[in-house]
Amino acid sequence: MKMTNVMLALAAGVCLAGAAETIALPKPTVDSGVTVLQALKDRHSCRSFSEQEISLETLSGVLWAANGYNRPDKRTNATGLNKQTIEIYACMKTGAYRYDAKANALVKVCDADLRNAVADHQPYAAKAPVSLLIVADVSDPVYSKKWNTLTHYDAGIVSGNIYIYCAANGLATVCRGSMDRDALRKALKLPETKVLHLNHPIGRPASK
């Protein structure tokens, strides 16, 4: 079934798993026909978003590029010490969802629209239909001393993957360090061991 946009998909495709709503994602689109070199040529930050929803297939592709599995136990993004502790949250009008890469699904974690908290003092970012949060779980003791900045680099690699997928698929995005971390931590009930590194508003570019 071809989903036309995220809202339609939410209305049609949401299933209940216990108390949590889970959206099964369609297989990601990985054949835009654009070469990596062309995507690198086109990569840029865009801060002007159309409010038009993006399809669930497109969102699935962005998430896969960001932090999905491209081998049975390894991912599209490299991580220091192969810890794979990066998590992606998708903030949308209908709530916030954690990307379950193994199941290729979005698991609802919050009913509220958190895009204003993601945008913080830069309102342009709240216009995008989806904002992805790049979060690291640093509960492993390895991160407490010598490797305490390792997940910062991990997050940067995820951001690069998102930029390249967006460039190859005509999507607008910008990597952002700004966000209301306290509000997001509270709404998502994140423990102190989860670090909100970066975010990426994603949508279609606003027409000029």
Interface residue list for ligand FMN (CB under 6 A): 44-45, 47, 122, 174-178
Closer to ligand FMN by CB, 54 or 179: give it: 179
CA atoms of 206 and 29, how far apart (whole Å) = 23
Angle between helices 56-67 and 6-13 (to 10 degrees): 100
Q: Least distance in Å: CB of 174 to ligand FMN?
A: 5
Could you tell me which of 103, 32, 21, 108 has the C-alpha nearest to residue 68?
A: 103
DSSP string, 5-35: SHHHHHHHHEEEETTEEEEEPPPPP---S--
Q: Least distance in Å: CB of 156 to ligand FMN?
A: 7
Closer to ligand FMN by CB, 106 or 196: give it: 196
Closer to ligand FMN by CB, 93 or 152: give it: 152
SS3 assignment, position 85: coil
Structure-token pair, residue 202:
């994603």
Q: Least distance in Å: CB of 146 to ligand FMN?
A: 22
Closer to ligand FMN by CB, 9 or 198: give it: 198
Q: Residue 157 belongs to what H/E stretch?
A: helix 150-168
Structure-token pair, residue 129:
């239909």
CA atoms of 32 and 86, how far apart (whole Å) = 26
Q: Are 99 and 90 a contacting pair, CB within 8 Å? A: yes
Q: Least distance in Å: CB of 155 to ligand FMN?
A: 8
Q: Least distance in Å: CB of 148 to ligand FMN?
A: 17
Closer to ligand FMN by CB, 47 or 185: give it: 47
Q: Least distance in Å: CB of 18 to ligand FMN?
A: 36
Phi, psi dihedral angles at 104 (to 5 degrees): 50, 60
Closer to ligand FMN by CB, 102 or 121: give it: 121
